[in-house]
Amino acid sequence: MSVILKAENISKQYRLGTVGVGTLGDDLKRWWYGIRGKEDPFLKVGAENNRSSYAEEDYVWALRDINFEVRQGEVLGIIGKNGAGKSTLLKILSRVTSPTTGSIKTRGRIASLLEVGTGFHGELTGRENIFMNGAVLGMTKPEIRRKLDEIIAFSGCEKYIDTPVKRYSSGMTVRLGFAVAAHLEPEILVVDEVLAVGDAEFQKKAIGKMQDLSTGEGRTVLFVSHNMASIQNLCDRVMLMNNGFNERIGLTNDVIDYYLEKFRNTAVSEELEKRKDRKGNGRLKFLRYWFENDQGNKVASLQSGRNCKMLVEVLNTSGMMVKDVRVSVGIDDNQSRRITLLDNTLTNANIEFQPKEARKISIVIPDLPLQGGQYYFTLFASIDNDVADWVINAGEFEVEFGDYFDTGKVVNETQGNFLIKHTFRSFQN
């Protein structure tokens, strides 16, 4: 198939602590070098995009020398740690911002879903926003009307389609935004991690739609996700980004295996409180976590079939009392597949914070049903459905093989990675 998108030597530079390119003095210096036919002097300076250390220079390269091409009908996955430059690259591809150097060559219309509410006007209804987005993509009203019922049905927002979008939840906004982007016939669909905000049913539905777009309609999809299972199910090739560079691009399983091996232990290389790659409004903040056994002693690893306890310390950063708090721990296996979710709202456990209070939250897991192996977890906190703190790959823990069924027999790795209590009984007909 023909190449529909080509990126050549894409770099993006930002000046730290400012909005825009830089200072007036820097702009004058660029102009002076330009009229003399010399290269921009600031292209020779700038720190690497490394979120684990503080930059000592005024300029930082969010992206540096990115080169790749995508063919028509292909689904390209983009993976990497938070802060690797994935979202910056998608903003450049979507024409939200321009590169400092390099060029993007595309054929056809690009529809993007980069952040919750991207392209929506809060005062307009969902229906009005569909027409506005279609007009931005260059479609006529009759074309949009033909797709309107299909878009509304896919989004699941029929009941609220004539309500202003500012009253939508983040999940509803993402559902409608994806439905619009996917159904208004773009040649290239660009989707960032926002699908993680939606529920599991909608994520499955959205991935199925992207598969239909690529295989059935020959559309091209660029998909950023931390969910390796989704990447494996959807993508033909994967590009791994690290510190603003395109570290590797190739077949999906090859790149994912390389990524998981290289970054296996980086999730715990920093104290949780100091992690910079977090999302949310900051009203709550995860400070630290640890695990304990039945005796209340801190442990480095857990064992199948034994009671265990996870403790998380959370700070209310505001000077107000906080109620309606949701805290969840999403547990993934070593292939980044979600195993289970621990969530106080599922057990009707109420969590409240006094002003500026740090609380320890205890999560007790009786008869740990996980098989032996390495596991990773994501921490999420919200207040009244607004994301307060969200740390992906917040940490990891080891589970040792154990006598889960209390029969004196240790369950081994050939018997699955999730254990279920069960009984057998034989009887005559």
Assign residue 406 the CATH number of its domain: 2.70.50.60
Beta carbons of 410 and 403 less than 8 angstroms apart = yes
Both structure tokens of 234? 């959807």
Beta carbons of 181 and 175 less than 8 angstroms apart = no
Q: How would residue 268 be classed by pLDDT, with cut points 50, 70 and 90?
A: very low
Cα–Cα dist 353/283, whole Å = 11
Whether the pLDDT of residue 332 is over 70: the answer is yes
Q: How many residues does the chain have?
A: 429
Rounded to the nearest 10 degrees, what angle do helices 170-183 and 200-211 cross at? 10
In a domain, 42, yes or no: no
**203 and 327 share a domain?**
no
Beta carbons of 8 and 103 less than 8 angstroms apart = yes
Ramachandran sector of residue 264 (left: φ over 0; alpha: ψ -120 to 50; beta: rest): alpha
Please state whether beta strands 220-224 and 75-79 pair in parallel, antiparallel, or not at all (unpaired).
parallel
Cα–Cα dist 353/382, whole Å = 12
In a domain, 120, yes or no: yes
How many CB atoms within 10 Å of residue 157? Answer: 22
Over pLDDT 70: what percentage of the chain?
82
Cα–Cα dist 219/213, whole Å = 5
Whether the pLDDT of residue 295 is over 90: the answer is no
Q: What is the pLDDT of residue 162?
A: 93
Whether the pLDDT of residue 15 is over 50: the answer is yes
**Nearest-CA neighbor of 245 among 26, 63, 394?**
63
Instruction: Identify the domain boundary among 262, 291, 308.
Output: 262
**172 and 97 share a domain?**
yes
Both structure tokens of 185? 């016939």
Both structure tokens of 117? 């509410």
Cα–Cα dist 130/336, whole Å = 34
Both structure tokens of 109? 């219309």
DSSP annotation string for 52-120: TS---SSEEEEEEEEEEEEETT-EEEEE--TTSSHHHHHHHHTTSS--SEEEEEE-S-EEEE-STTTT-
Which structural domain range is residue 400 located in? 267-415
Both structure tokens of 17? 């602590």
Instruction: Identify the domain boundary among 228, 246, 262.
Output: 262
Amino acid identity at 59? Y
**235 and 114 share a domain?**
yes
Over pLDDT 90: what percentage of the chain?
25
Residues of 172-203 as b/e, b for ≥16 C-beta within 10 angstroms?
bbbbbbbbbbbbbbbbbbbbbbbbbbbeeebb
Q: What is the pLDDT of residue 22?
A: 54
**279 and 257 share a domain?**
no
> Which of these ranges, 280-294, 306-320, 324-338, 394-408, has the smallest mean pLDDT?
394-408
In a domain, 156, yes or no: yes
**272 and 165 share a domain?**
no
Instruction: Identify the domain boundary among 196, 227, 262.
Output: 262
**120 and 143 share a domain?**
yes
**What is the mean predicted confidence (pLDDT) over 18-35?**
61
Q: What is the pLDDT of residue 67?
A: 93
Please state whether beta strands 301-303 and 220-224 pair in parallel, antiparallel, or not at all (unpaired).
unpaired
Q: What is the pLDDT of residue 284?
A: 96
Under DSSP, the state recorded for 125 is B
Task: State residue 211 phi and psi, 5-degree precision.
Answer: -65, -40
**272 and 230 share a domain?**
no
Q: Where are the alpha helices (DSSP H) in 311-412?
A: none
Residue in the structure block whose two tokens are 């983009």: 78
In a domain, 59, yes or no: no
Whether the pLDDT of residue 203 is over 90: the answer is no
User: What is the arrangement of strands in the sheet containing 301-303, beginning at the earlier edge strand?
Assistant: 301-303, 386-400, 373-383, 325-332, 338-343
**171 and 224 share a domain?**
yes
Q: What is the pLDDT of residue 269?
A: 38
Whether the pLDDT of residue 46 is over 60: the answer is no
In a domain, 314, yes or no: yes
pTM: 0.60
CA dihedral 224, 229, 234, 238 (to 10 degrees): 50
**What is the mean predicted confidence (pLDDT) over 246-250?**
91
**251 and 390 share a domain?**
no
In a domain, 39, yes or no: no
**297 and 366 share a domain?**
yes
**241 and 306 share a domain?**
no
In a domain, 126, yes or no: yes
**CA–centroid distance for 283 within its chain:** 20
Number of domains in the chain: 2
Give the N- to C-terminal CA distance of the chain in Å, as an integer.
63
**What is the mean predicted confidence (pLDDT) over 290-297?**
82
In a domain, 178, yes or no: yes
Ramachandran sector of residue 23 (left: φ over 0; alpha: ψ -120 to 50; beta: rest): beta
Whether the pLDDT of residue 194 is over 70: the answer is no
**137 and 211 share a domain?**
yes
